[in-house]
Chain A
Amino acid sequence: MESHVLNVNRPAYWLLLCCCFAFFCSHTTNANDFFQKGYIGIDSHYYPKSNNELQEYGNSSFVMQAELSHAWNNSFFMKLTPFARLDAEYDDRNSTQIKEFELEYLNGRNLFHIGQRLLSWSTVETVNVLPITVADVVNQRDIQGDPDGQEKLGRPMLSYTILGETTQLELHYMPFFVERLQPLIQSREHFAGGNFSIIEDGIYTDEDEETKASYAAKFEWVVGANNLALFHYSGYRNEPLYTPIDNENLQQLYFSTNTSGITLQSSISSWLIKLEAAYNDTEENNDYVLPHEYSSFIGGVEYTLIRPNKHADLGFFVEYVYDSRDSGPFRTPFEDDLFYGFRWASNNHDDATLLGGVLSDLDDHANIFHLNYKQRIGNDFGIDITARFYDIKDDTLMIVYENEHLLNLTFSYYL
């Protein structure tokens, strides 16, 4: 595929953005106003069990991120978030990204944004732990960097927001699509468990390919203790379908969908209620077999204990995960599952938190155990440990994960 200068994955795009920011910076007075925060750190993934002889036991990378911003006369605001990852094992995990590079203009209740942006619409806990998409439909996941899919890639867009006291309408126009960056076959983050290679450039159901525009809108109300939002996205779905080319290679196929959904966050005394649901309607195409229409839902509650004069907070949560793709060629393993667990926050000077949860399939014997601990060390360092264990017996889709137990350690120095 011909390289496009505005393709967000190309160095030229990166360079162009840096030049723009340097230009804006040179037109202001004090350089110290720009740097807000950042970190440098070591991020290691270790997979104790072997899965495929081709694949290694993990990776270790050096990561850094900075956040620069500046405001001009209460109307203009600019933000730049460059990110870089340098991997000790795999060149494909080396990455330089502009996660955010946006210019904001505020005029009364009208807010305009142009640039590379990250939008997060999710409300539930499950999506922080597993790569499931219901409401977070705009940004592509950075699968290479983070197998849980928490890290996202920025997406170029033009946005208009009407601000209200209790309502807000956002409209987004996205001229390009951002493809998923696929890990190498040797890498454990690889989708097909090392059994197939994935061709780097994807194919599209639309002849305009990645330059086909996408649109998104969100309308949110806040009424007392309730935040309710309706959203719509029209464009390529971020998760590709993988179609075999031959016995060794898969190709990524991106197809157009219309996704409409709802999110809710609400609190009633000690209970929090969170849900997100979406209906996906695939645009018809004569050349490819695509999932026609499907709906997905994640929703649940969280209860926080009242513990007078105790420093630490303790709460329990349970969320139900539903997806209508429970059979056929497009079926998903997360179609009828429960995610339940606890959250403990020390509330101490080191902000230590522990989250433990289990995702259990309600139909087959498949459990994913997830444990995350993080704390600050002194004022400037932080540690984040995630352990994941798979207990898969008879789930034919999940069986590929049975040896994918994972230990992820991140050590950061905050700038």
Chain B
Amino acid sequence: MNFAGLTKFLSSVSFLSLPLLAFSGNYTHSNIDLYLDELNKLHTNQDQKEGLRIYTEQYLMDEGWHSMETIMEMELIDAKGNRSTREVVKKTIEEDSSPDKTLGIFLSPRGIKGTAMLTFEQSLGADNQWLYMPAIKRVKKINAQNKSGSFVGSEFSWEDISTTELTKYTYKLISDNKSHWVVQRTPLYDYSGYSRHVTWVDKTNYQTDKIEFYDKKGDLLKTLTLTDWRLYENRFWRPKHFDMVNHQNNKRTILKLSEYKLRNVDASSFTSLNLRRSASNIR
């Protein structure tokens, strides 16, 4: 047996798994450094460091909510003002040391009621995504590489509605007024539809309440405004109203969310093995 080779193999395995072993649980100011190690190297000047600091603060404030459930009413408005709506139950579970998992179950239009989509977000690679189609009772693995594609015909793309993992962007403070920091975010992941986001972060609570999305050519594509904020458990800020305006096609999508229920979701719903059950049995 090649002992030297085996030792080398084992040590490389332990090296690779070290960041995983080193941490399990929620991040805090004291243990986030390892997670931010690579990101810190991309933030060298003062404005970049300040941008990262603001978003790290926002990220840490939002650790520990465990799970949440809300009903999302989505109103699609086309350039002529025609409206159509769809309703989705959205459940999200916070994962230790890995990005969150999201389950969406359609309630309307009636023709697609019971269709469910499960997404395991990945920091940089393609998300893992499954779709349950009630008409044929099949759970299909679907391709989630196309992050810039529309989410069910709305002006939100996949990358807009997925949860915000800190390591997906680089940050830079570009200006600062009495109420807000204006921070530019640049996507690090492949296949984004954007060259950058310009975000407004409220100084009182570190929440982002406006985002401008710039397309690959650098032109303003969309503006998202987040209002009707609620504070849960005295810690977790959540907006109940999202308004996305597309400046290039003049379409608009409004999301209205019900009250969020925190710590209410059963972790066993978040597996593709159980997707059919989760979809047909909305408890």
Contacts and interface: CB of A to CB of B under 8 A. Distances in A.
Given A166-B271, A269-B126, A304 B146 contact: yes
B280 interface: yes
A74 B141 CA distance: 28
Contacts, number: 136
Listed from nearest, the 3 A-B pairs whose CB atoms lie closest are A414-B110, A265-B141, A120-B137
Contacts of A128: 136
Contact of B149 (A77, A109, A271, A311): A311
Contact of B153 (A39, A166, A305, A351): A351
Contacts of B280: 69, 79
B274 A163 contact: yes
Given A118-B137, A122-B138, A306-B191, A313 B110 contact: no
B272 interface: yes
A17 interface: no
Contacts of A165: 267-268, 271
A37 B128 contact: no
A168 B221 contact: no
B225 interface: no
Interface of A: 36-37, 39, 67, 69, 71, 74, 77, 79, 104, 109, 111, 118-120, 122-123, 128, 150, 163-168, 220, 222, 224-225, 227, 265-267, 269-272, 274, 302, 304-311, 313, 315, 346-351, 376, 379-380, 382, 412, 414-415
A309 B195 CA distance: 12
Given A36-B113, A164-B273, 6 more contacts: A71-B283, A163-B268, A270-B143, A304-B143, A307-B148, A380-B109
Given A36-B113, A163-B268, A308 B126 contact: no
Interface string B113-147: 11000000000011010100000111111111110
Contacts of B141: 225, 227, 265-267, 272, 274
A346 B142 CA distance: 16
Interface residues of B, number: 48
Nearest to B148: A308
B119 to A, nearest CB: 12
Contact of A222 (B84, B143, B157, B272): B272
A379 B84 contact: yes
Contacts of A164: 273
A37 B113 contact: yes
A36 B111 CA distance: 11
Contacts of B191: 306, 308
Interface string B45-63: 0000000000000000000
B247 interface: no
